[in-house]
């Protein structure tokens, strides 16, 4: 079955540094991959989508890479701020119809001032 793995341990970084989160997947070749942010007690919020033919995508301080050979996506937050502290989820499509998406368990990020 398809599997998504994200760092289960929390990531602690200092304000101003770059945070890098990893998402690895197995047993599938997704057409696209997404990253979401989730704050405690809230629903996830979409951040970025990257397609299989895109190597990198940027949005403001966010950057996502997608390596279909390694079956890995990296999510970077540059110049991190305490307000970036949250859980970040990766998600990928797992059927040819494009309707079914599975999510990783997420990585908790703490940015210290």
Site residues for other proteins, 64-93, by CB under 8 A, read 89, 91, 93
| DSSP-assigned letter for residue 100 | -
Give the residues across from 19 on adjacent strands. 77
Q: Burial level of 16, CB count in 10 A (0-12/13-18/19+)?
A: exposed
Kindly determine how many residues on this chain lie close enough to bind other proteins according to the rule CB under 8 A. Answer: 25
Measured from the CB atom, the residue of 79 and 105 that comes closer to other proteins is 105
Binding residues (CB under 8 A) for other proteins: these are 4, 31-32, 34, 41-46, 49, 51, 89, 91, 93, 97-106
């Amino acid at each position: 079955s398809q599997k998504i793995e994200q760092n289960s341990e929390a990531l602690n970084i200092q304000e101003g540094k770059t945070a890098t989160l990893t998402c690895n997947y197995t047993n599938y070749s997704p057409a696209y991959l997404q990253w979401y942010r989730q704050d405690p007690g809230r629903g996830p919020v979409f951040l970025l989508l990257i397609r299989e033919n895109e190597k990198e995508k940027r949005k403001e301080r966010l950057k996502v890479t997608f390596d279909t050979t390694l079956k890995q996506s990296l999510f970077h937050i540059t110049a991190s701020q305490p307000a970036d502290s949250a859980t970040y989820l990766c998600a990928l499509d797992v059927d040819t119809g494009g309707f079914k998406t599975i999510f990783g368990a997420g990585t908790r990020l703490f940015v210290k001032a």
